[in-house]
Amino acid sequence: MPSPEPALIFEDESLLGVGKPAGWHVFPGAAKPVLWEWLLAQRPGLAGVGPARQPAFVHRLDLGTSGVILAACTPRTYAPLRQSFKDGVVEKDYLVLAEGALESPKTIQLPLGARYRRSKRIQVGSAGKNLRWSREAHTEVWPLAKVREWTLCRVRIRTGIRHQIRAHMAAVGHPVAGDKAYGARTGADGYPFLHAWRLALPHPGTGEPWVCRCPLPEDRVAFLAHAGLAGGWAEMLP
């Protein structure tokens, strides 16, 4: 099945929001398809924004993660956007289908690290673990709806550690559906069910509060409907 196409979901003179499908790399590398190449075809002028090897986009999403990702439209707004993510002032809300039943909200505060620079898995730091690096990480989880072996959750992070949600959810016994790398038993259409649904941050041009949302892809909506999670939960989203 061909991968869905990205979409421009917001644009003004300072920044734009792109809806990234699962299965797309953000920056050029050995594999295709590449989100940056798609964006350059839509907006060629963005080639000169930011560093040459990683232009325009001010943060990343994993290959298997869908949802909203931001790009700066000018060199003047690139640095403030990057700084907002670095300083942790960006609210990053995800929709996550987790294994098991979550009955109440959960806060996960566990340090995360890796054994090697290019480790494929992130691990929870603890005494006796020989990790190359370890950082504090904070994840908040709100259950929205549950059925049988799954719970649909809203998950918020302010830190940006690689695989943070995947590692934290697995650490508390509720891996992301389809995330076999972190111990999931059940499938989710080929990729972990992890969608970057909402970003909230100060607008780099005005300084005013600004929000960008990206709806769930059609295949994920269909998956939820098939699982019996078709309605009601959307009314609980901010």
Beta carbons within 8 Å of 234's beta carbon, 6+ residues apart: none
CA distance 210 to 39: 22
Catalogue the active-site residues: 62
Report the 10 Å Cβ neighbour count for 160. 15
Element (H, E) at 222: helix 218-227
10 SS3 class: strand
Residue 212 has phi, psi (to 5 degrees) of -130, 130
Quick one: 41 exposed, middle or buried, by C-beta within 10 A (0-12, 13-18, 19+)?
exposed
Q: What angle do CA 9, 11, 16 make, to 5 degrees?
A: 80
